[in-house]
Amino acid sequence: MNKIIQQNFKVEFNYNISFTEGVFDVNNPLLSNLLTSKNKNSTTRAVVILDKGMFYYHSYLIEQIQTYFKKCCLKIQLMGEPLMVEGGEGVKNKWSVVENVLDLVNKKKIDRHSFVIAVGGGAVLDMVGFASAIAHRGIQIIRIPTTVLSQNDSGVGVKNSINYFDKKNFLGTFQPPFAVINDQTFLTTLSDRHWRSGISEAIKVALIKDSLFFNWIEDHITLLNNRDPETMNNLIFKCAQLHTAHIGGGDPFEKGSSRPLDFGHWAAHKLEYLTNYELTHGEAVAIGIALDSCYSYCIGYLSENELKRILHCFNNLGFELSCPLLLDPLDINRINQKLITGLEEFREHLGGVLTIMLLRGIGQGEEIHEIEKSKLDQSIVLIASFQNKKLTV
């Protein structure tokens, strides 16, 4: 006789994404209030993991963090100096760095009522988030993103990961942060390349969800290129708002076969790997969006004017949309077969049927389940012709 016990329960997640300036300034109580909001009557431990690239531009940061905890966090015990880790995508390729974080958690006796505070770019936040999620089955993490891309996209969501088997984000977890703090101060020292790079994720979410936001980006290209802080802050806020609304309103832990927010990413992830991560994630996403936008045009989804608007938007922001690795080395009119493997890896990451987001129009995404190789070939020819200022469609 068969017997069944059916279990069913729901878990509610809540976290705030705060926007501030000078998070470690002793006159700013935001972080202190967050740390004491859950355990008001007991002393709590915390460790800080810091993107080493931050120290280059903010050499005072370690001392500032220590001073902040001494003066503002009397019920929070900072366990030693911040652990410095390399920034950039390379940090997600090294299991040894994950072990360093786990070793810190173990030696400093960080438990589920303690906090891991991660300060850095998206790759560092991904890696630290993964390590925190697997230690004690999950330690509370506060993310302090320091780049445009991490403040408007990767740092505000629920995913954590590292790369493995030469595949991006092969190992990972879904674990929402305790809180996210976006500090605009850190954006002032970004290189022009990294300032620009994160804008591609804003264009992505605008193209699939909000045509008015895309119009706004077009209208503010000059201010963004001139690094106007208020304009960038508005872009980050709107982009983060759209991302989190999608996460909270649908399939936050990606149980299905659909990843709408990964529009343009199947090619981007593979291009990052094929260039040995010389392309930043945002630069690769720009190329991936251009490719999928051209494909959308080639199958009759996008108009010529809409396609030109998208490509000109990227171009006017300074993105390079051509990449030698898009092309078959033996035929410049055909797509690189190594890039094509990214489609299957993209499908494999979720399982189920291949599901790719395309554009039915600006602000209107639509998913398809099959890609025609001949149309991809046409798409790379379109990108090349646009890059040569000869776009005729």
Q: Are both 16-189 and 197-387 of the same fold? A: no
Return the H-helix or E-strand segment holding 76: strand 76-78
DSSP state of 376: H
Kindly state the percentage of the chain with pLDDT values over 90. 76
Return the H-helix or E-strand segment holding 135: none
Alpha-carbon distance 168 to 158, whole Å? 17
What pLDDT score was predicted for residue 251?
Answer: 73
CATH superfamily of 197-387: Dehydroquinate synthase-like - alpha domain (1.20.1090.10)
Return the SS3 of 173: strand
* Topology (CATH level 3) of domain 16-189: Rossmann fold (3.40.50)
Buried b / exposed e along 273-306 (16+ C-beta atoms within 10 A): bbeebebbbbbbbbbbbbbbbbbbbbeebbeeeb
Tokens 């900072």 belong to 78
Whether residue 393 is predicted with pLDDT greater than 70 in this model: the reply is no
Q: Closest Cα to residue 140, out of 76, 70, 71, 229?
A: 76
Residues 36, 73 contacting (CB under 8 angstroms): yes
Alpha-carbon distance 150 to 124, whole Å? 10
Q: Which residues pair with 368 in a beta bridge?
A: 356
Q: Closest Cα to residue 166, out of 277, 11, 308?
A: 277
pLDDT of 224-261, one tens digit each?
Answer: 999 999 999 999 999 999 999 988 877 787 776 567 78
pLDDT of 163-205, one tens digit each?
Answer: 999 888 999 999 999 999 999 999 999 999 999 999 999 999 9
Structure tokens at 106: 């173990």
Residues 317, 199 contacting (CB under 8 angstroms): yes
Q: Closest Cα to residue 314, out of 282, 346, 344, 339?
A: 282
Residues 141, 177 contacting (CB under 8 angstroms): yes
Least confident of 121-130, 243-252, 369-378: 243-252
The residues spanned by each domain of the chain are: 16-189, 197-387
Determine the distance from the C-alpha atom of residue 121 to the mean position of all C-alpha atoms in its chain, rounded to a whole number. 9
Q: How far is CA 253 from CA 26, 127, 173, 263, 353, in A?
A: 37, 18, 9, 17, 17
**How large is the average pLDDT for residues 14-42?**
91
Whole-prediction pTM value? 0.92
Q: Closest Cα to residue 280, out of 90, 56, 85?
A: 90
